[in-house]
Amino acid sequence: MDGDVPITIRYPWTEPPAPGEWTQIAEGVLWIRLPLPMALDHVNVYALDDGDGWTVVDTGMSSKKTRLIWERLMAGPLSGRPVNRVVVTHHHPDHVGNAGWFQTEHDAELVASRTSWLFARMLTLDEQESWPQETLDFYRSAGMATEVLSKRKADRPFNFADVVYPMPLGFTRIKQGDVIHMGGRDWDVHMGNGHAPEHATFWSRDDNLVLTGDQILSSISSNLGVYATEPMADPVSDWLEACERLETLARPDHLVLGGHKLPFVGLPTRMRQLIENHHGALERLLSDLDKPKAAAECFPALFKRPIKDGEYGLALVEAVAHLNHLYHIDAVTRTRRADGAWEYLRKG
């Protein structure tokens, strides 16, 4: 949903490291890319040299393939020194997926926000062989297309346990305002929100590096989704608050190391884009609600492009998020349709 803000963003590296390879970003900081089995086919992770070992920031999705890559990395660029610590930016599987493996098999310390750890461990333990009724009801309330819902019901539901290695008890908490030492640098911890609750970002005090996970990405907007776990959530409000707060920290020389796409310079511009993109999406959506519409009917106004089959689920939960925001700020009314879907209508 990127808008028309002038682009003043620069990419120091035009190509990512190949899977299992690495790029040195700065002294003691390695950029590594791991594969993902989805449309967004990669996740960026970072290894920071602590002298006697390494701190790894994010871990990729749990799979034998990914762990083989990690083992090659530990024998190669990580010089056979141990991964002593894993820092997780947020609880999503492509970031926390191998944290438990590092803890169990390599005796690594896990560092995360309390909310990230609680969500990751709770969802990993909550294994479902069939769809919970609450989830099916939530999809119906969003107006999910009948054929999409029927196909989902016929398949086994997505489970964190399928793509997140079992997580043992125990972690070290980080919170807003903390300082953590990694890779020979002191980093200020600033929490984001919206894409994931209590999402950790790290701002180096000693040079221009910023580790942002999925809170700040260079060329895509992070998904802001609402799920059956909290159907009235307003992640758009959380996202905008976090962006406006983090924008005050942004410097033109910051080198931003995100969880996807390429590292970039030009953070003040990108922060303004991220804020204006969602304000623009909300304005388009509100303008389109001159007639009652369910979330699944709002894709054209919200995304301005066709939504492919593989994108449908993320598009739906993002549409619910933007409608929830408009409802919470009292810009729309909603009524329950005969098929169970909520329809939203602009006030006035």
Q: What is the CATH number of the domain that holds 220?
A: 3.60.15.10
Burial readout 158-173 (b: 16 or more C-beta within 10 A, e: otherwise): eebbebbbebeeebee
* Mean pLDDT, residues 13-29 taken together: 94
- Answer yes or no: is 227 within a domain: yes
Domain extent at residue 207:
22-128+158-276
| 4 pLDDT above the threshold of 90 | no
Q: What is the pLDDT of residue 7?
A: 55
Position 158 pLDDT exceeds 60: yes
Tell whether 236 is covered by a domain.
yes
Tell me the average pLDDT of the chain: 95
Q: What is the mean pLDDT of residues 229-254?
A: 97
> How many domains is the chain built from?
1
Position 172 scores a pLDDT of: 98
Q: Residue range 51-76: average pLDDT? A: 96
249 in a domain, yes or no? yes
Task: Give yes or no for residue 5 having a pLDDT over 70.
Answer: no
Confidence of residue 79 (pLDDT cuts 50, 70, 90): confident
Let me know if residue 191 belongs to a domain: yes
Residues 338/343/347/348 CA torsion (nearest 10 deg): -60
Residue 167 lies in a domain: yes
Contact 121, 320 (CB under 8 A): no
- Residue 35 maps to a domain: yes
Mean pLDDT of 256-283: 96
pLDDT tens profile 272-289: 999 999 999 999 999 999
Sheet containing 209-213: order of strands? 179-182, 185-192, 199-204, 209-213, 255-258, 264-265
Q: Tell me if 120 is assigned to some domain.
A: yes
**Residue 1 — very low, low, confident or very high, per pLDDT cuts 50/70/90?**
very low
